[in-house]
Structures are given as C-alpha cells and as structure tokens.
Amino acid sequence: MADNTNLTTNQRNIMKFDPKDHEIALSTEDLHVFYGKTEGISEGDLQFERYKISALIGPSGSGKSTYLRSLNRMNDRIATVTGKIMYRGLDINSNDIDVYEMRRHIGMVFQRPNPFAKSIYENIAFALRQRGMNKKQELDEVVERSLRQAAMWDQVKDDLNKSALALSGGQQQRLCIARAIAIKPDILLLDEPASALDPVSTSQIEDTLLELKQNYTIIIVTHNMQQASRISDYTAFFNLGKVLEYAETGDIFTNPKVDLTNDYISGNFG
C-alpha cells in the first residue's frame, strides 16, 4: 500500500486523486444513466489514474457494466447519459464530440469474444485500413506487434490467414484485445473479459493485462473478486447503481470502510 497521504477520501468513501501526484486519465462527474425513465446509474463520480488497472466490482445489476459502457459512449443509442466524462480536458459526453474518433482513444473489449468473421490478420488490419493505413509492411508490423502484446503471436503466426472463428474462446478473446490495442488507444475498457473463459485462459489474459498496464490505462469490470485483487491497483464497489466505495485495491479487500463492501467481498451476497 503506497502513499495514502495524497489520496483524500470524502464522506462517501470515494477516493479522489491529487493531480500533483497522480495523472488522471479519465474521470466522470455526476454521471447518470437512464433507460427510458428508469435510472440505471446515479452518482458515478470516479477518477482513473493513468497506467493503472482500476477494477469495477459489484453484484449483478449493480450498474458496473452500464457505467463502463458509458465511458466510450457505447450506450449512445440504448440509454441517456447525463453528466460529464472528462478526458484530456474535454467532456467527451458532449454532443460536439466525434464519437468515432473518441473511441479510437478509448477502446473496449467485451464479455463474449466477438472476433469478426474474417481472417486473424484482417481482424486487426481491417480497422486500421479503414483509417487509411494501406501499406502492407506497416500493417504487417502492427499486426505482429499487437499479437505479441496480446501474447499470442507464437501460436498464430503461421495461421494469420485462417478464420478467427476457428480459434478457441481464450484465443479469440486475446485476438479481441490485440485488435483493440492495434489502434493504439489511451485507455482500454474491459467488460468481464474473462468470464466466458476457462481458468488457464483467464490467467493468460490477466498476465497480458499486467503487461499492457505499462502503456495503457485499464478499467476492467469483473465479478471475480480474486481477479480484481490479483491485477488491479484501484477498486470501485458498485451497488444498486451507485459507487459505494472506491479505494486502493489492497484497502478495499483488507479494510473496507463500508459494511456492504465487506459483505460483498466476503461472499455474503451478490
């Protein structure tokens, strides 16, 4: 547990960073999400530090996925999101933002692996080509680098032209991670990326994420408490659409301030 001195915690047990010591990659202010007239999220006020892994935990239906999907506006046609999402001094929740451009900075990996019905190579090269990267050599390089970063280059380097749908679930998910980092985002959002995978694939994905942390800010939703404690630096606990507690992961798991957090991480509900 590092220097708690420059972390302040307000009455609601939600940690705030001191910008002097912590570079904030993304933050939300007064975020509310409505599905029609039902409110899905209220008061999602969180800050995410650069080059760290922040985990969002909480029982099913607590709004952690909804919150995550709001961060790169994936909820745009599904729900109404009010409040601010600050990224590099810009409120990316405003109407003036070019959503497509913004998503190249804030990438996402989903719960179920969703590779395109294309070859392994095309899965990665496709989005790059859509944005004007046409040189074969350049594309080859990015494909190799991304697959290496996702720790699967050695397994697939001879099968790049094979369909991605022929890969195993764990490999598909790592391909999705490779695809997301190929466009060099700043921030990577992951929505329970390992929940559909076996333990071996899960631990490989976790190793990959710990590697990626050097270059990416990672925000991950997980229902797996061990996973959150193994890989994350900070953890936010969601319940009934609210963030009840946000602190360093070590603190959350050893010394939760809120009773509900304690109940949840000790497996008493959720």
Partner 1 sequence: MNAKRIDKIATGVLYAIAAFVVIILVALLGYILVQGVPEISWHFLTSPALSFEAGGGIGIQLFNSFYLLFLALLISLPISLGAGIYLNEYAPQNTLTGLIRTTIEILSSLPSVVVGLFGYLFFVVQFKLGFSILSGAFALTVFNLPILTRSIEEALANISNDQREAGYALGLSRWETVTKIVVPAALPSIITGIVLSAGRIFGEAAALIYTAGQSAPALNFHDWNPFNISSPLSPMRPAETLAVHIWKINSEGIMPDAKAVSAGASAVLIIAVLLFNFLARWLGKRLYKHLTAE
Write out the residues near partner 1 by the rule CB under 8 A: 72, 74, 100-104, 107-110, 112, 114-118, 126-127, 130-131, 162-163, 165-166, 176, 179-180, 183
Of 20 and 37, nearer to partner 1 (C-beta) is 37
Side chain identity, residue 48? F
User: Which C-beta is closer to partner 1: that of 50 or that of 112?
Assistant: 112
Select 46 or 183, whichever has its Cβ closest to partner 1. 183
Distance between CA atoms of residues 50 and 184, nearest Å = 15
Taking the complex as a whole, the smallest distance from the CB of residue 116 to partner 1 amounts, in Å, to: 6
Compare residues 165 and 258 and give the one whose CB is closer to partner 1.
165
The enclosing H or E element of 81 equals strand 80-87
CA atoms 125, 130, 131, 132: torsion sign: positive
In terms of CB distance, is 107 or 170 closer to partner 1? 107
* One-character DSSP codes across 35-72: ETTEEEE-----EEETT-EEEEE-STTSSHHHHHHHHT
Cβ–Cβ < 8 Å for 138, 125: no
Report the nearest approach of partner 1 to the CB of residue 259 (Å): 36
Q: Which amino acid is at 23?
A: E
Listed residue (24, 53, 57) closest to 208, CA to CA: 53
Which tokens hold the place of 193?
């990326």
Q: Is 140 helix (H, G, I), strand (E, B) or coil?
A: helix
- Give the helix ranges, DSSP H, for the chain: 64-71, 99-105, 120-130, 136-149, 153-156, 169-182, 199-212, 225-231, 249-254, 259-265
Min dist CB 211 to partner 1, Å, is: 21
Least distance from partner 1 to the Cβ atom of residue 237, Å: 25
What's the min distance (Å) between Cβ of 108 and partner 1?
A: 4
**Cβ closer to partner 1: 62 or 72?**
72
Q: How far is the CB of 34 from partner 1 (least distance, A)?
A: 18
